[in-house]
Amino acid sequence: MSISGNQLIAGQWIAGNAGNFHGVNPATGAELEPVFTCADEAQVDTAVAAATACATEFANTSPQKRAEFLNTCADEIMALGDELLERVSAETGYPRARAEGERGRTCGQLKLFAEWILSGDYLEARIDTALPDRQPLPRPDLRSYNQALGPVAVFGASNFPLAFSVAGGDTASAFAAGCPVIVKGHNSHPGTSELVAQAIARAVTKCGLPAGVFSLILGAGNRVGAALVTAPGIKAVGFTGSTAGGTALFKLANERPEPIPVFAEMGSINPVVLLPEALKNSAESIAEGFVVSLNQGTGQFCVNPGLVLAVEGEGLDRFIGATTEALSKVCAGVMLNKNTQLGYQSGVAHMRDQPGVEQVAAGEAVADGEGFTCQAGLLTVSAEDFLGNRALQEEVFGPMSLVVKCRDHAELLAAASALQGQLTGTLQCTEAELADYTDLVEVLRQKVGRILVNGFPTGVEVCHSMMHGGPYPAATDARFTSVGTRAIARFVRPICFQNYPEGLLPDALKDSNPLGIPRLVNGESTRDAM
Amino acid sequence: MSISGNQLIAGQWIAGNAGNFHGVNPATGAELEPVFTCADEAQVDTAVAAATACATEFANTSPQKRAEFLNTCADEIMALGDELLERVSAETGYPRARAEGERGRTCGQLKLFAEWILSGDYLEARIDTALPDRQPLPRPDLRSYNQALGPVAVFGASNFPLAFSVAGGDTASAFAAGCPVIVKGHNSHPGTSELVAQAIARAVTKCGLPAGVFSLILGAGNRVGAALVTAPGIKAVGFTGSTAGGTALFKLANERPEPIPVFAEMGSINPVVLLPEALKNSAESIAEGFVVSLNQGTGQFCVNPGLVLAVEGEGLDRFIGATTEALSKVCAGVMLNKNTQLGYQSGVAHMRDQPGVEQVAAGEAVADGEGFTCQAGLLTVSAEDFLGNRALQEEVFGPMSLVVKCRDHAELLAAASALQGQLTGTLQCTEAELADYTDLVEVLRQKVGRILVNGFPTGVEVCHSMMHGGPYPAATDARFTSVGTRAIARFVRPICFQNYPEGLLPDALKDSNPLGIPRLVNGESTRDAM
């Protein structure tokens, strides 16, 4: 099946009723075929109704069935072959190796969730058996576990057309939990979105699941996105994107007659703190790693290192010198789309205009012409200027970083304390320094979701212990991650059964433990039957 | 130390700067001594500043230290002896047995959390070890666990002056997580609040904890409550009370520059569904249990059975007849305060005025005179009238229930499907009926947090498997419970350490597993050292 330009609504590929648009190749600025149609509100409602109608059936599938489904999704995505990789590159400007790597990450993620739900851990099954003779009152039999929350709306991100998009982490974790998913595909990669949706649709059919389990909607975010988030059938929202977009959805969701949780991962400037001994020992190699991290994916990562904090001196001068030299050799990169390019240009200009900010480095000049290219950049500012100016904490999406020069330890601590919530915080340090800087570490622990030592924030491992999220405004709910197996917790809620006939309980709570999962029985963790 | 009428702010007992009020004995209407002062916004800020200043120190205490603190709180509450029990009765109208039972529940709850945090389960420690040779990219060492969220604001409930108040479930679970707590005491039991705060303050001192770990604020909810929820240092809110109160706090918290989670348990009408065979077999004994449940605590429980759904017929007639007779013998009960009494009276009147509603039973008439008493009541309405009228789903706080008479199974299902979110749903049924009514069970599972068979919703066990919460408007976040050990999850968030020097990691994540807690190491659950 080639790319049709249609929506997938409850198993039907149909044209949208609200206008149309083309994908664009950001490396050339040329429009890509075919034309894509946009859904209207009624089409969103149809998708939500189908998801609602099958929510109970899907929630009640066995973990085995959903694992089969997740694995089949991965297989079907692989089966798209070169067509998918070529479309990703055409729509994003990413080289084939990046497209291939991201496909691997996406399929690996689906398979990890498949494996994880079989373990049953995420069900958090708990049983407290009856104590009929307890005084002054008997205890009833009480059993609880996590059940699926219901239909989930997922908003694909521009910068990860596979791993944070149609079959990305939000979709995979919602499917794993047993929630139907409606994806609002990002307009920056509509063809990629449709191909992946085709793969999921084939997996739905092959696994004999109801078609309402998955829909793909395309259209304007403020129109179909708002319709999706305010639809009464939607019970949670996953989003990766800008602060403005995430905040708007969060507000809409909270103002519903029935408010619903929004898990918006809205990015971050990911402070990198360079401590004096580390700078003294290895300013040049830190600069080298920093420049690579800054330019990965043309800086279009939510964990891009957009801020550097350090005490001024010879070590920091060497770091800035080495970074400046390395950046000067960085070729112009292709950005994802025209809006991203414009946002980057105006963001850098706005930053440069702030009091005390100096641009000290830039990548190679961009030749006028085709494509949405940009230049990497390094700026500096004093801690004094940084502390009074919240504009300097605004994320500039792209390969730009601001170095905050602190006079001393106290000013470094003040700058760290002034930070908003972040996805990550990085320390370049010796082990002895880390032990000495407990005050700084404690400040960072309050500000970030992930704390790194002697690395760089780009590279978000999909695993059990990952935390990709953080205090607001990095994310709307710091208690949850959008990457890794903990992500399932967003889409389930506990339900408790009191004195329920044993034979009619969900398998997870039956005496015989037919799923063989770990359970907390009267306070003790066990996989045994009762 | 007798009752002073002061606030406890950061270890100091001081007079509030914003007026004063008296407690009132609801059984007599008489004012109680002493006079209590109200805090102003600046005093709230002082408490928040003290909590913020010690948040890291308290978060970093060992589970052992916090268990000692929780147990000491329980001991100090017991040491208050008769003075506490007498003050509870004087301020609430509850008989001594109820006060004693609730004290037992409160202290048992503190001790359960103490025991539970020693198990380390709630830390959800996860470790993925480095894979330096992995292709195409190495995996770093990643470790995550749950850390305390920061200072928590707790709003005491009127109806549980001990178990859902100053040292209630919200406070106990926040302390267990390592979060400082500032309680806004309910004005309905200020003396009880102060006595319990004295006990906690003694426990803080005995355990050598910083005074900022606990403060008690008294005052007007819309003034000090709003100041508390909007204070930047507060990171989460626990609330038990009315829908109006909970919704107002939820809105304030979401509109902050940094939104914070609000866990508001706002009550419910707790539908009880009577299935035909059960009615046929035991209408009279169901009625007997129902009347007891309805009148527990003069109906002032968030799990009070305020709604009955059943198919009309001889069985339902027998149930209504037996309930009417039993209710007619119920003496007028004392309500918590004048506002509760007025709210109940107007709520019943409003309900009676709805189209199709008939009052079929009432408790014994209340003699005019002293005290805030009320009459129990039973009303009926047809499913047809119920379905079109959302006013019939409004909670009337007190001993009143509405029986919805359905023509058939389809109408019963429609009535259940029309319900808003609820704390509980109860089925009176035979086991064969339960197996037959899967459609009804599935509807209830989407609507409630706890589903009971052949019991009544009053009686919320404090244990590992309890879920006391539910879909909105029963609570603001259906994924969390305010009762039982799962409640700690509200006040923690995961933090991830990447390539962090092993010796400097928190104990929960060190190779040697010094806390002896269960951990997920490379996907396998183990208590072993690495």
Of B137, B452, B476, the CB nearest to A498: B452
Quick one: pLDDT band at residue A368, thresholds 50, 70, 90? low
Asked whether A364 and A330 are in contact (CB, 8 A), the reply is yes
Contact list in B for residue A492 (CB cut-off 8 A) is 479
The per-residue pLDDT for range A410-442, each reduced to its tens digit, is 999 999 999 999 999 999 999 999 999 999 999
Residue B332 has a pLDDT of 79
Residue A458 and residue A474: Cα distance in Å, rounded? 15
Tell me, yes or no, if the pTM score tops 0.90: yes
Tens digits of residue pLDDT in B466-507: 999 999 999 999 999 999 999 999 999 999 999 999 999 999
Closest CA to A22 of A122, A93, A91: A91
Dist. CA A25–CA A529, nearest whole Å: 58
Residue B94, Cβ density class (10 Å: 0-12 exposed, 13-18 middle, ≥19 buried)? buried
Is residue B119 a contact partner of residue B238, using CB atoms and an 8 Å limit? no
- The answer on pLDDT for A367 being more than 70 is no
Residues of B in contact with A476 (CB under 8 A): 259
- Give the model confidence (pLDDT) of A102-127 as tens digits: 999 999 999 999 999 999 999 999 99
Mean pLDDT of B91-107: 96
- Enumerate the residues of chain B whose CB falls inside 8 A of the CB of residue A56: 442, 445-446
Q: Do A140 and B455 touch (CB under 8 A)?
A: yes
Mean pLDDT of chain B, nearest integer: 96
> Quick check: B370 pLDDT over 80?
no
Per-residue pLDDT for B16 more than 70? yes
pLDDT at B364: 77
pLDDT exceeds cutoff 90 at A193: yes
The pLDDT of residue B154 is above 80: yes
pLDDT tens by residue, A258-277? 999 999 999 899 999 999 99
CB-based contact B465 A143, cutoff 8 Å: yes
**Minimal CA–CA distance to A216: which of A32, A43, A86?**
A43
Name every chain B residue with its beta carbon within 8 A of the beta carbon of A474.
Answer: none
Say yes or no to pLDDT of B13 above 80: yes
Token pair of A318, please?
């060497």
Q: What is the mean pLDDT of chain A?
A: 96
- Return d(Cα B301, Cα B335) in angstroms, integer: 11
Q: What is the pLDDT of residue B494?
A: 98
Q: Do the beta carbons of residue B497 and residue A451 sit within 8 Å?
A: yes
Give me the percent of chain A exceeding a pLDDT of 70: 99
Query: CA B373: distance to chain centroid?
Result: 24
Give the one of A124, A465, A504 whose C-beta lies nearest to B127's C-beta: A465
**Number of helices (H) and strands (E), helices first, in chain B?**
15, 23
**Options 3.40.50.1000, 2.30.110.10, 3.40.605.10, 4.10.520.10; CATH of B7-266+481-490:** 3.40.605.10
Which superfamily is assigned to A7-22+31-266+481-486 in CATH? Aldehyde Dehydrogenase; Chain A, domain 1 (3.40.605.10)
Residue A435 to residue B504, Cβ atoms within 8 A: yes
Taking the C-alpha atoms of residue B171 and residue B442, their distance in angstroms, rounded to an integer, is 34
Pick A501's closest partner by Cβ from B251, B431, B479. B431
- Strand pairing class (A492-498; A377-382): unpaired
Residue A44 to residue A225: CA distance in whole angstroms: 9
A331 beta partners: none
The token pair that represents B380 in the structure block: 């009926």
pLDDT, residue A369, reads 64
**ipTM for the complex?**
0.97
| Burial grade of B354 (CB within 10 A; 0-12, 13-18, 19 or more) | middle
* Chain A positions in Cβ-Cβ contact with residue B497 (cut-off 8 Å): 450-451, 453
Separation in Å, CA of B235 to nearest CA in chain A: 10
Q: Mind listing the pLDDT tens digit for each residue in B64-77? A: 999 999 999 999 99
Enumerate the H helices of A207-337 as residue ranges: 226-230, 243-254, 276-295, 314-328
As given in the structure block, the two tokens for residue B307 are 């709604």
Catalytically annotated residues of B: 265, 302
Is residue A29 very low, low, confident or very high in pLDDT (cuts 50, 70, 90)?
very high
**CATH 3.40.605.10 region(s) of chain B?**
7-266+481-490
Separation between Cα atoms, residue A52 and residue A360, nearest integer Å: 55
Helix or strand or coil: residue A132?
coil
Domain with CATH 3.40.605.10 in chain A: 7-22+31-266+481-486
> How confident is the model at residue B369, as a pLDDT?
64
User: Which amino acid is located at B284 in the chain?
Assistant: E
Residue A366 scores a pLDDT above 90: no
d(C-alpha A180, C-alpha B23), whole Å: 52
Neighbours of B78 (CB within 10 A): 14
In this structure, what token pair is assigned to residue A121? 């851990």
Test the A interface: residue of B466, B496, B522 with most A CBs within 10 Å? B496
CB contact under 8 Å between B465 and A127, yes or no, is: yes
C-beta atoms of B143 and A455 within 8 A:
no
The minimal CB distance from B142 to the residues A116, A454, A463 is found for A463
Q: Report the residue of chain A nearest B115, measured CA to CA.
A: A523
Q: Would you state the structure tokens that stand for residue B485, as one six-digit string?
A: 């050990």
The boundaries of every CATH 3.40.309.10 domain in chain A are: 271-453
User: Would you name the residues of A annotated as active-site residues?
Assistant: 265, 302
Query: Among B178, B112, B197, which residue's Cα sits nearest to residue B490?
Result: B178
Q: What is the mean pLDDT of residues B238-254?
A: 95
The span from the CA of B244 to the CA of B264, in Å, is 11
Which stretch of A453-467, B359-373, B376-390 has the lowest confidence by average pLDDT? B359-373
A121 to B520: CB separation less than 8 angstroms, yes or no? yes
Q: What 3-state DSSP class applies to B23? A: strand
Q: What is the pLDDT of residue B343?
A: 94
> What is the bridge-based pairing of β-strands A422-428 and A271-274?
parallel
Rg (CA), chain A: 25
User: For residue B276, is pLDDT > 90?
Assistant: yes
Instruction: Give tens-digit pLDDT for B400-445.
Output: 999 999 999 999 999 999 999 999 999 999 999 999 999 999 999 9
CA-based nearest distance B474→chain A, Å: 10
Kindly provide the b/e burial profile for residues A400-422, where b requires at least 16 CB atoms within 10 angstroms of the residue's own CB. bbbbbbbeeeebbbbbbebbbbb
Q: Which amino acid is at B197?
A: A
Which chain B residues are closer than 8 Å to A115 by Cβ? 523
pLDDT band at A399 (very low <50, low <70, confident <90, very high): very high
3-state secondary structure of A38: coil
Q: Which residue has the higher pLDDT, B331 or B451?
A: B451
Name the residue with tokens 């017929």: B313
- Report whether B401 contacts B308 (CB < 8 A): yes
At A91, give phi and psi (nearest 5°).
Answer: -90, -15
Residue bearing tokens 């830390």: B123
Cβ–Cβ below 8 Å for A467 and B136: no
Residue whose structure tokens are 């600025």 = A29
- What letter does residue A416 receive in the DSSP assignment? H
Determine the pLDDT at residue A360.
95
Residues sharing a CB contact under 8 Å with residue B179, sequence separation 6 or more, in sequence order? B55, B58, B59, B148, B149, B150, B151, B152, B235, B236, B491
The arithmetic mean of pLDDT across residues A9-32, rounded, is 95
Secondary structure (DSSP) of B228-297: HHH-TT--EEEEES-HHHHHHHHHHHHTSSS---EEEE-----EEEE-HHHHHHHHHHHHHHHHHHHHGG
Interface test with B, best of A496, A499, A527 (most B CBs within 10 A): A496
Rounded distance, CA B250 to CA B153, Å? 12
Please state the separation of Cα B21 from the chain's center in Å: 26
- Give residue for tokens 């037992």: B104
B501: which chain A residues are within 8 Å (Cβ-Cβ)?
Answer: 431, 434, 453
Look at phi and psi of residue B112 and say left if phi exceeds 0, alpha if psi is from -120 to 50, else beta.
Answer: alpha
User: Which residue among B124, B467, B473 places its CB closest to the CB of A144?
Assistant: B467
CATH class, B271-453 region: alpha beta
What does the pLDDT read at residue B466? Answer: 98
The pLDDT-based confidence of B220 (bands split at 50, 70, 90) is confident
Share of chain B above pLDDT 90, in %: 95
**A370 pLDDT exceeds 80?**
no
Q: Which residues have C-beta within 8 Å of that of residue B140, sequence separation ≥ 6?
A: A452, A455, A459, A461, B130, B498, B499
pLDDT of residue B367: 63
pLDDT in tens, A487-526: 999 999 999 999 999 999 999 999 999 999 999 999 999 9
Considering only residues B362 and A7, tell me which one the structure prediction assigns the higher pLDDT. A7
pLDDT band at B362 (very low <50, low <70, confident <90, very high): confident
Please state the rounded mean pLDDT for residues A441-457. Answer: 97
pLDDT in tens, A57-89: 999 999 999 999 999 999 999 999 999 999 999
User: Which residue of chain A comes nearest to B420, CA vs CA?
Assistant: A258
Sign of CA dihedral B334, B336, B338, B339: negative
